[in-house]
Amino acid sequence: MHSKLTALFQKVYGRPPEIVTRAPGRIEFIGNHTDYNGGTVLGAAIDRGVWVGLARREDDRRQFYSELAGVVTTLPSGVLARQEGSSSWINYPLGVLAALPAFDLPAPEGFDYLAISDLPAGAGLSSSAAIELASALAFLTAVGSNPDRETVVKLGRHAENHFVGVPCGILDQGVSGFGQRDHLVFIDCRGPRFETVPLPRAAHFWVFNTHTKHALVDGLYASRHRECMEAARALGVGQLVEATMPKLERARAGLSDESYKRARHVIEEIARVDNARQALRRGDLSTTGRLLTASHRSSQVYFENSTPELDFLVDLLAGGLNVFGARLTGGGFGGAVMALTTPAFGGAQAAAVADAYAERFGKRPDILHAQTGPGAQVVMK
């Protein structure tokens, strides 16, 4: 990808990049919608992601190009207005630029910027966090800043929350920033506090992208966020992480059915994260897989962010050979299912799953066999 980025940068801008950065996509392993509720989550940085090339300019023009959009968009350095239509992808690096003053960090004035990716968009693998972190590292390197990894993670989240407009928690950026090969990232979102958890070598990830629509900014994600906040207020706690199932059951008569279901999912999901963390430390993938499937059932029934397509895949995978468990990964409302499998689960079995899905829904899902990979990094400066 480095050589591909360099060649494309030369073609578009007539010179090579001075700075190259990359940040991985992530698999939400377990902890669905727990992060903005103050809970815990486990995620895996994968070996695919977003690469950013940058070269400084002597004027104040900021030029943006992505392989997907295919056109150069030029903005003066003083313009940080949200972009629309085919240029809307620029809101991710623009959001990072807009966030820098909040962290007392300088921003580069003029530059040529280019982004490429081998991460499928809309698959619940958080290409948005990857481009935010890769952009943040590129911009900070351009001005000679070297903040700690947690600050880079928080910059990405600030951009997503306040500029892009998605009220996400720290999961996506945290996993992309702190990822390591052969490890999961555990996040206690109240700190936030980050640590890594070894992943047994017998564990493999298979992701099935349904191509169904993600509608995060369009409102469903924001609705669930609002419903969780309302449930917390009704329970008299600041965040749902402070609630317990006995407390929820005592208050059930005074809660709407919607508030009860959202709170139940989050409270029980936080417990599943902690149980999965303990199981992984024991190398117990069978128990971990059962927790993954239970997580999906809770998303399906209580959080109602699954879809018939995702449910079909989980039903098929979780009951199959060589599969420890399966669940939706990401915000839900479409996107992808992740299966945790043994090494014996191979391409032929994945293709059979895709065939069954195509027979039911008329279109094959994309299949991604992912490995764990390193977190966001500066590749060249």
Secondary structure (3-state) at 250 = helix
Residue-wise pLDDT for 322-380, tens only, equals 999 999 988 888 888 999 999 999 999 999 999 999 999 999 999 999 889 999 999 99
Which of the four pLDDT bands, split at 50, 70 and 90, describes residue 217? very low
Residue of 322, 295, 315 lying closest to 360 (CA atoms): 315
Neighbours of 81 (CB within 10 A): 9
Residue-wise pLDDT for 223-241, tens only, equals 888 899 999 999 999 999 9
Mean pLDDT of all residues in 116-129: 80
Report the sign of the C-alpha dihedral through residues 229, 232, 238, 239, in that order: negative
Beta carbons of 77 and 109 less than 8 angstroms apart: yes
Mean pLDDT of all residues in 39-46: 95
Q: CB-side exposure of 273: number of CA atoms within 13 Å? A: 28
What is the pTM (predicted TM-score) of this model? 0.87
Beta carbons of 172 and 330 less than 8 angstroms apart: no
Comparison of pLDDT for 217 and 176, the residue scoring more: 176
Comparison of pLDDT for 78 and 285, the residue scoring more: 285
Secondary structure (3-state) at 4 = helix
CATH of 2-199, one of 3.30.465.10, 3.40.190.170, 3.40.47.10, 3.30.230.10: 3.30.230.10
Residues of the chain with CATH 3.30.70.890: 204-370
Mean pLDDT of all residues in 50-54: 97
Q: DSSP character for 213?
A: P
Evaluate if residue 218 carries a pLDDT over 70: no
Q: Looking at residue 81, what is its pLDDT?
A: 86
Q: Tell me the CATH number for domain 204-370.
A: 3.30.70.890
- Would you name the residues annotated as active-site residues? 172
Backbone torsions φ then ψ of 205, nearest 5 degrees: -110, 130
Task: Give the strands of the sheet with 204-209, arranged side by side.
Answer: 323-329, 336-341, 204-209, 366-370
Token pair 């963390």 in the structure block, residue:
277
Residues of the chain with CATH 3.30.230.10: 2-199
Beta carbons of 337 and 27 less than 8 angstroms apart: no
Tell me the average pLDDT of the chain: 92
Q: Looking at residue 212, what is its pLDDT?
A: 81
Evaluate if residue 219 carries a pLDDT over 90: no
Residue-wise pLDDT for 181-198, tens only, equals 999 999 999 988 999 999
Residue-wise pLDDT for 250-264, tens only, equals 999 989 999 999 999
Evaluate if residue 220 carries a pLDDT over 90: no
Beta carbons of 173 and 153 less than 8 angstroms apart: yes
Provide the residue count of the chain.
381
317: its two tokens: 């995978």
